[in-house]
Structure 1
Amino acid sequence: MSHDRTDIGSGGDPALRDITERHRRLQMIIEGTAAGTWEWNIQDGRMWVNERWAQIVGYTRDELAPITPETFFRLVHPDDLAQSNALLNEHMEGRSPHYDSLCRMRHKNGHWIWVQDRGRVYEWDDAGRPLWMAGAHADVTDLQNARQDAANMRQRLQAVVDASDEVAVIATDVDGVINLFNTGAQKLLGYSAEDVIGKANPGVFHDPDEMMDYLRPQADADGRMPTVFEALTAQAAQGTWSHQWTFVRKDGEHRQVRLSISPLNCAGGQRLGYVGMAVDITPMIEVREQAYLAAEKFSGAFSSAALGMALVSLEGRWMDVNDALCGILGYTRAELLEIDFQTLTHPDDLHADLALVGDLLAGRRDHYHMDKRYLGRAGNVVWGRLSVSLVRSEHGEPLHFVSQIQDVTAQRQSSLQLRDSEQRTRVTLDAVADMVLTLDLHGQIQYANAAATRALAGEGAAPLTHGQVQDVMELTTEYAPRSPLDIAVLLDPDSNAVDLHSDLLLSVGAQLVPVDVTRAWLRGEDGQVTGAVWVIRDVTQQRARQREARHLAEVDPLTELSNRRGFEAHLQQAITRVARTGQSASLMFIDLDNFKPINDSHGHLAGDAMLWAVANVLRHGVRDSDIVARLGGDEFAVILAGCSLKRARRIASDLLESVRSLTIPWDLQRLSVGASIGIAAIGGNMSVDSAVAAADAQCYRAKALGKNNVQVEVPLGQASDPLDAVETSEGGEG
């Protein structure tokens, strides 16, 4: 401490000498840690600090005097002060054992330093109020800077992965379990990241026949073949290994890819996993098949994976490049690191490239894509498909660019591909059965494929281009078929109105067609949304199959009533309806009396006949809108929507009488049963289990009170009047 509130002399007393010695050692320990210490009289605001405390912020104690809590508040960064005060109050109120705050403080020289401030109240008065508090400051600026450097590195690596969706990046652990699946991989393979991360092995993406031919020669003496992951990572054990493979998408489509696999090691050399980078070369193969000359030019791209990566400084100098980029441009790595990208950019493309770089630095865009020409080392012109993103620090300052360059020289030279690209797209869209519409944000149709034109305007109709979508179609839902969805909302990029509905209907004239609608947004060069593409699929048969499957899963085959699964679904809907509308609803539990003797004496066929007869009584004893269910055995339930407990009791009394008077002929006898009925209100804040438990408790009461009677729960806040809240015995069985 810098100030002792008690002066301890050495004297001749051994105890005092011992205390003095321990105090001296403690003082030496504190000075040895280079920590700034402080002590605070909370009641009068006086505060003492040691010289190191002042040095941390660049002052002497005299320069800071008088030292009070305001001294600390004045030096702390305004953005950190509120949190520091909250932590201090939490400790002083006894809700935390220590005060521990990481905050920024302004140094005398004007810059900010990071300080770890820790302390504790060590003396309280008789009323439990804090009197004295002490603690220490430590300068942790270097530690925080190291953390920020690590965060910048993670951001830089993430930018490398996300800079382009033209490349699939898949990373695994050492056992082959996928732990990274970028947007390029999702686009290439059709799986979402949630489908595969932590669940799948990349071997599942390979064509099985192709891999079997590859693995069979690697079988050991016992005939055991390695797995796909084992075989491929063995090739990449010492470095990057590339090969052409056939990938199978989620929808079954086959794609040709150039796959490069590299090992991932930690700083200590321990193997962490593997990363694979796949480029879809299917379009290039198709062009080669169409034109032999183009195929010859494409062959170089196939063999080199056709993807270059570079880290570029804010001034344009190459900071780091990969082997693929060296191969594309014809330079060695050392040569590229001595020049900047401006030197290698074709003069006619440089202005547009620099303008986009300026947009990145100004924050007007997050990334950009462009096709541009590079000057190769051999004097040749290389067309590159460039994708660039800007890496920023956690505080938003620009650090460097991440560039990905794909050699598209062969594609650019293919006049056939350029000339027929739009025509092939339109022919493809006209061949699909789904309706495809391109719209601007005002609902004007920019394009409609053949299927959309036929469905919305009729066979042989004129193109729908330039018409308004709301004039030719209307979207509604099965839940509210007469309430169309607002087209303006559907064209709002921030709206999820379509995504919230799985029961969409397309209204064309008087016809309602079940459909699924998928939206994709069109963006201009400035990144702003300019329109949308809607893909509308007729799912009439799919919905019918779903309804049929749901019916089979939720109906009791004996009584044709809802089974327990269907009952729970209907009960959840009833609870939701009560919560939304406040309308009353009741739940009735019915347990047949004397049913077991029928099964024991006359067999299960007689029991089934009785259950069928009781089901008919219940079905015809309630409204069509009520839900009657058989929960299993001789237990039934009825969900009474819009029904108070008093009305439910009257309905239950009628049902009880109907069941009691029911007889069925069997082996020259007439068989009969009784029923115990319990009723409870359905509340909007209930769960399915709590609602079932409430009605079941009343049914149990009915059984306990002699069976063959109705019992109703007493609503909270009402007296337990047997005539008004509880239906007493309707006739015991004795």
Structure 2
Amino acid sequence: MTDKQAAPGDRPGHSGDVEAALPAMAEHARRLEMIIEGTAAGTWDWNIPDGLMRVNERWAQIVGYTREELAPITPETFFRLVHPEDLAQSNALLDEHLQGRSAHYESLCRMRHKQGHWIWVQDRGRVYERDGQGRPIWMAGAHADVTDLQQARQDAADMRQRLQAVVDASDEVAVIATDIDGVITLFNTGAQKLLGYAAEEVIGRVDLGRFHDPDEMRAYLQADAPADGQVPSIFQALTARATQGTWSRQWTFVRKDGERRQVRLSISPLDGAGGRIGYVGMAVDLTPLLEVREQAHVAAKKFAGAFSSAALGMALVSLEGRWLDVNDALCGILGYTRAELLQIDFQTLTHADDLNTDLALLGDLLAGRRDHYHMEKRYLGKAGNLVWGRLSVSLVRSESGEPLHFVSQIQDVTVQRQSGQQLRESEQRTRVTLDAVADMVLTLDLHGGIQYANAAATRALAGEGAESLAGGQLQDVMELTTEYAPRSPLDLAVLLDPESNAVDLHSDLLLSVGAHLLPVDVTRAWLRGEDGQTTGAVWVIRDVTQQRARQREARHLAEVDPLTELSNRRGFEAHLQQAITRVARTGQSASLMYIDLDRFKPVNDTHGHLAGDAVLWAVASLLRHGVRDSDIVARLGGDEFAVILAGCSLKRARRIASDLLESLRGLSIPWDLQRLKVGASIGIARIGGSMSVDDAVAAADAQCYRAKAMGRDNVQVETLVAGDVEVLESQDGSEGGE
């Protein structure tokens, strides 16, 4: 709190001509006031030397107050309401204007509404009077609530970001948008991928021709030219067909590196509220499809060559099992030459344990019970090695349906089988590792079925020596609750929903283990199948007992002022809310003392902040020892202190304040061969059960402000008369009625 002074007196006016002009001035002022009211703006003016401000009622209404609730209004009133993250910038802009470096002061900031939420305020003003040395004397301005505008801006930005993300995510489709004149306004990642240009190379330019094959486009333009022979521009030609709707055509696009791509280009008009605003083109690369068609055509003409050059082992097998023809890949898989394989039947090369299954499936093919079959079987290689093959067999029949021969495809999967064995061994090692960790690990399906539980989870949820939890239901062995509501179990089905963030919303989870509640964190990882669908989850449950204890200690430290070891403002507000609640519940008296040190600023200015810290420490010690152990002493910031006096009437609080003031008068702090002294202005107000924290602080602060206005170094107290609050004078700390 800065030292407060009384408002300046009225300035002397002029006579004569001024008196004659008064009616016109009054009418002008009335019209000006009507204009201001019509704009719903809050106005303010500021006597800079005195530090006092005048605001209209709308200024106070914007933040949910009346002018009486905010009185006295000073720049500190604004500073208390402004969001801490915006205050520094606002102060910098104000200082720049006061120093004459900017023509106006203009700041967009958040202010706390009386109901506790934040609103956006546009604050504008300027200095309109300076003294002979150029120092500012009077400044005026206006506040406007722009919360809806800011929200609309944010919504629009979010929408643009989402739309841009959707467009950029479509990297398989090139999207190019232009304005009505053909200037490129959008060039998505799909267009960059297709054409090889970066967005910044083309956006803002009218250069669609660079994307088209010049010969193809020249022929099209000439064929599409009007009767007068004037050839249209490429943009005109492309959009002329799309004036009434989407128009599509296949084109040859030329990439930045010169490569040509065949595309299907669809052009559509873009219409806004005021009419046509541009066009959007969407191009799909047809080159891979056309290449596949060409390859299919070539493959059809070279079927025999494809058989011999196939990467998979391929064979034509007689109905008796003899190899009729084999390709080079199959010879490589089995280690035989083509001539050698044609002298052997497949039965000879099949592992004995797999032969009966293979023959049975062949019998099903011949009997018409199946069209084809697949199996994994073992072959005996020429080198005596074992070859695992994935076999696919189909039966070729004549037009009359008679069996002719088998077509077999054999893929060498020996390495995969070995990898599978290695994977199983790896899974075994993983299970051993998980059983060794202290965290509980569960694998679950989406219905709560337990598929796996490590040793820690089994011990915690079923007890020492219990059987595996696999096959059971999570709901039968686990109960989760929260520190906020320890007797209300959470619905585990919600926690198993991949779309739910219920776990993420709880930082205070408790796991019921027997008769104990164990603080835990739960981490979920989702399991997905080959189709990308979520099939289950892995839960890791960690004991965070020590971590929660450290967090509680950190919260305690966050409510203590590190210099004085008193409660800071955060801790003070929490204690004050408790005191208000206690008064409302019990009806017991309670008082709030607001203390603002006098003559403290010269200590900092003359002796430095270390001296100021020494004074604050000494004052804090004096206050701590000058009240009861049950009273709460807090440093609110700077040189402001407060004391919450539970079960204390105003009369008794005044006596305590007077004793504290007398002790402060005698306080002398040695510093560099000098003695530092400070005084204090003290304001006292009752704590009512229907008050808010801000109401109680404002009431005591008002008395402290009055104490400063009465000359400092005194105590001012409010009292209750007929249900109203009456302020009593008490410059010397003398008793008054309560």
Larger radius of gyration: 2
Shorter-chain TM band: 0.3 to 0.5
TM-score (norm 1): 0.38
